Amino acid sequence: MSSPQTDTTRWYSGISRYQWLVLIIASAGWVFDVYEGQIFNITRGDMLSELLDGDQAAVKGWGDRFLAIFLLGGTVGGLVFGSMADRYGRRPILIVTILLYSVFSGLTYFATDIYQVGVLRFLVALGIGGEWAVAASMVAEVFPSKARAQAAGIFHASSILGTWLAALAGILVATQWRYAYLLGVLPALLIVWVRASVKEPERWQKQVDEDDPQSNKHLAGSFRDLLLNPRWSGRAFGGLLLAAVGLGTFWSVTVAGQDLVKELLLRTGTAAEDVGGMAKFAYGIVQASGGGLGLLAFGPIAARFGRKPAFVGFQLLALLIVPVVCFVPQSYTQMLFILPVFGFLTLGMHAGYAIYFPELFPTHLRATGASFCFNGGRMLAVPVLLFSGWLKEQPDMQLRYAVLGLSTLFLVGVVVVLMMPETRNQELPE
């Protein structure tokens, strides 16, 4: 496909009020989507200690198992609801996925044993996995090509608000973790706004209204067309591997920032009762702020230099910052200065998934393909997460060395993205 002439006007020039509204609604759903994932990471110590009667050895093992369950649920939900969004429309499936993760998050308040939490986390993840694919596809289809990277970058960068909200909730509720999950019911209010304000993207509606028997509407949401058609299959599997690297390193490397802070505080003699709150602040506010800036920066960088160079640059720099954050800081203050850079480089590339994946597939496969890449990546990240948990539990393995070893996955991501197509300045495929 030939590239259109580059538009030199500002990317937001000519964007309508409705396009901004779609971006705001999609971002609001993603904010609470991320909140649901992060609130468990922040409160799991208190939650699991209570449910497991203080058995700290079991707490660590069950924590990683629940994260694996969460990734699995996200994969299943993403694949199912992504396909349904291509078949039945973006708006109704967006409503269903938001309702799903809202209700089951609230029900976590009433959980009384470890197995109830496991089931509820799986059901929450079903909605979360589906919501991302639908929202990312809507943003890509509503915004013009000159603004797509920046809009999608803003959409994914809004996740930082979800992380901040989870961190603040975790700090405010302290050990009373159940109240943090009640906040997860709030996104259900978004459904009223979605029903009143959002219409189906013109690209999707045009496909539905198409009378041409040669059109692709009969293939909408088809995994057979996605995975067996050579035009799309290479993109689907390449995107899946790229997401697997990002999600695997997120849960094994980026999230480890909180534990690295705890280890440093204990090593430097900080009182045990102060460690939890200080680590939550360092990870949930300081590191997350740097991560948010990285997410915002990825869009303009991808628009200026291309999607592939942006991915390669972020992953190589992420590889370099990991040994710095693991071995350089000798005090809490020093760690606070390094964590924003760590967050910027290890998290920023995730905005690229919302930008890049919808650009790889046609309208009849856009949500299906984007979901297959992002949520299929969750599935491949599960073994990474389980291996990460096993590695960090080894008696002679220091956390710093485990995180350093796991960071070599960024090199795999570089190799994968070099084999993918460039989509900068191209219209969405049809």
**Domain parsing of the chain, residue ranges:** 17-198, 220-429
Q: Which fold has domain 220-429?
A: Growth Hormone; Chain: A; (1.20.1250)
C-alpha 104/C-alpha 123 separation (Å) is 7
Could you give the C-alpha distances from 50 to 24, 69, 206, 292, in angstroms and in order?
38, 20, 53, 32
**Cβ-contact 119, 70 below 8 angstroms:** no
The burial class, CB within 10 Å (0-12 / 13-18 / 19+), for 262 is buried
- Kindly give the parts of the chain with pLDDT less than 50: 1-5
- CATH H superfamily, domain 17-198: MFS general substrate transporter like domains (1.20.1250.20)
The pLDDT, as a whole number, for residue 272 is: 84
| C-alpha angle 119-125-130 in degrees, rounded to nearest 5 | 140
Could you give the C-alpha distances from 314 to 282, 302, 320, 412, in angstroms and in order?
22, 11, 10, 13
The pLDDT, as a whole number, for residue 212 is: 54
The pLDDT, as a whole number, for residue 3 is: 46
C-alpha 359/C-alpha 239 separation (Å) is 11
Positive/negative CA dihedral, 67, 71, 76, 78: positive
Q: How many residues does the chain have?
A: 430
The pLDDT, as a whole number, for residue 400 is: 92
**Cβ-contact 330, 269 below 8 angstroms:** no
Percent of the chain's residues with pLDDT above 70: 96
Helix ranges (H only) for 108-158 are 114-142, 145-157
The pLDDT, as a whole number, for residue 2 is: 42
pLDDT tens digits along 255-276? 899 899 999 999 888 888 888 8
Interacting residues of 367 by C-beta distance below 8 A, sequence separation 6+? 82, 83, 85, 86, 90, 93, 133, 134, 137, 221
